[in-house]
Amino acid sequence: MNYQHYIEINPGKRNGKPCIKNTRITVYDVLGWLANGMSTQEIIDDFPELDTNAIQACLTYAAQREHHLVSIQAA
């Protein structure tokens, strides 16, 4: 999945944190909700501007960022 279709980083929005496009919902918000046990459907019910692809994009973003950090540390 190409998370860039769903996630943007704008210095003027939420202090430059990665957000779901056209919202002020950060990747970290979504990851936190998932980590606290919310299901994808519960998140969508609470935030109808999101869909399963946007939530999957958050997970992909986090995985790629983690992989990048591990790669840098190993170098």
* pLDDT tens, residue order, the chain (75 aa): 799 999 999 999 999 999 999 999 999 999 999 999 999 999 999 999 999 999 999 999 999 988 765 555 555
Residue by residue, DSSP assigns 7-73 as EEE-TTSGGG-EEETTSS-BHHHHHHHHHTT--HHHHHHH-TT--HHHHHHHHHHHHHHHHHHHHHH
**Residue ranges of domains in the chain:** 3-74
What's the pTM? 0.85
CB contact at 8 A, 50 and 43: yes
Instruction: Give the domain 3-74 fold.
Output: Arc Repressor Mutant, subunit A (1.10.10)
Instruction: Measure Cα distances from 56 to 5, 11, 47, 68, 71 in Å.
Output: 11, 23, 15, 18, 22
